[in-house]
Amino acid sequence: MTHELYIGDRTFSSWSLRGWLLLEKFGLPYKTTMVGLYAGTMAADMAHLVGAKTVPALVTPSGGLLTDSIAIAETLAEENPDAGLYPKNPAARAMARSLVAEMHGSFNALRGDCPHNMDHTLIGFTPSDAVMKDVTRISELWSLARDRFGADGPWLFGNYSAADAFYAPIANRFATYGIALGVTAQAYVDTHIADTANRQWRAMGQTVTYDPFPYDFGLAKAPWPVDIIPAKSAETGPSENKSCPYSGDPVTHYLVMDGRKFGFCNASCRDKTVADPAAWPKFMELVNG
């Protein structure tokens, strides 16, 4: 049985990213439907989901409709007790739920002044005192979790949990706006930026262009802080591979990387790979095979 997840534009929709990570990072089956958050068609796209007004929205395999991120996290944890959405340790689990709740209901200055934007970073952004107050509190929470429960891995509670899914867009914001952080907080941000799922989400967002681009602060732009292997689309084959590395279907679209040509079954598969080839393990297996 598959969950049905409704999301907005990947580059900008922080709440959609949280909902997606709660499924993707814990190996839960899902299919994704994009709604027109920035195209202006969201209400029509979600009209059949009676009661849903925002993204993410999740239809569970049993037919339940979840319209809030905490409701999604708690229901997924309840219905999939072995998936590991929350730590097993009771004290760690209590803290994780508290961190999720505080993220859900707080940090309005950061959200308002620093919209989620995974397209590029900005040079010369000056955060307000209110934003820095949010940054200080978030850094304190991260350090508290890492110090008490993070010994077994790079995430807040060692292993990845729902709390990390909720703070992933915060980490992206800190990267986008060049927020100065302490050592522990910066290491945690770097972990998110390098995470395969975060990179894949961004790469899929890069397949969409915007004119005009939202959230133009009039500042100089710099690339997103990951090492991206240069690749570009190609009009024709042949390619080294005859079947798409993702679907196994015959190739119809092509890219060139490091003088080699690879094929994919459709433009979406190709374009997300062009955006960040190393984000896709199946493609890299083909490259290195």
* Residues 249, 284 within the same domain: yes
Regarding pTM above 0.75, the answer is yes
pLDDT exceeds 90 at position 220: yes
Torsion of CA 190, 92, 159, 172, to 10 degrees: -30
Give me the pLDDT at residue 188, please: 98
Assess if residue 210 is contained within a domain.
Answer: no
Task: Give the mean pLDDT of the chain.
Answer: 97
Is the bond preceding residue 238 a cis peptide, omega within 30 degrees? Answer: yes
* Domain extent for 34: 3-79
Q: Is the torsion defined by CA of 215, 7, 17, 247 positive or negative?
A: negative
* Residues 73, 134 within the same domain: no
Name the percent of the chain lying above pLDDT 90. Answer: 99
pLDDT, tens digit, for every residue of 118-130? 999 999 999 999 9
Give me the pLDDT at residue 236, please: 97
Q: What is the CATH number of the domain that holds 157?
A: 1.20.1050.10
Assign 1 a pLDDT band (cuts: 50, 70, 90). Answer: confident
* Residues 154, 244 within the same domain: no
Nearest-Å Rg of the Cα atoms of the chain is 20
Distance of CA 126 to the CA centre of its chain: 25
Whose CA is closest to 9, among 32, 30, 37? Answer: 37
Segment 130-146 mean pLDDT: 98
Give me the pLDDT at residue 216, please: 86
Give me the pLDDT at residue 219, please: 96
* Residues 111, 186 within the same domain: yes
* Residues 26, 105 within the same domain: no
Segment 104-117 mean pLDDT: 98
* Residues 130, 158 within the same domain: yes
* Residues 74, 118 within the same domain: no
Assess if residue 74 is contained within a domain.
Answer: yes
Token pair recorded at residue 123: 């040079």
pLDDT, tens digit, for every residue of 37-76? 999 999 999 999 999 999 999 999 999 999 999 999 999 9
Whose CA is closest to 202, among 230, 226, 170? Answer: 226
Give me the pLDDT at residue 196, please: 98
Whose CA is closest to 21, among 226, 272, 197, 188? Answer: 197
DSSP codes joined into one string, 157-185: BBB--HHHHHHHHHHHHHHHTT----HHH
Segment 133-160 mean pLDDT: 98
* Residues 15, 61 within the same domain: yes
pLDDT exceeds 90 at position 201: yes
DSSP codes joined into one string, 60-123: -TTS-EE-SHHHHHHHHHHH-TTS-SS-SSHHHHHHHHHHHHHHHH--HHHHHHS----S-EEE
Assess if residue 214 is contained within a domain.
Answer: no
- Cα(266)–Cα(262) distance, integer angstroms: 12
Distance of CA 233 to the CA centre of its chain: 24
CA atoms within 13 A on the CB side of 245: 23
Segment 149-154 mean pLDDT: 98
Assign 257 a pLDDT band (cuts: 50, 70, 90). Answer: very high
Domain count, the chain: 3
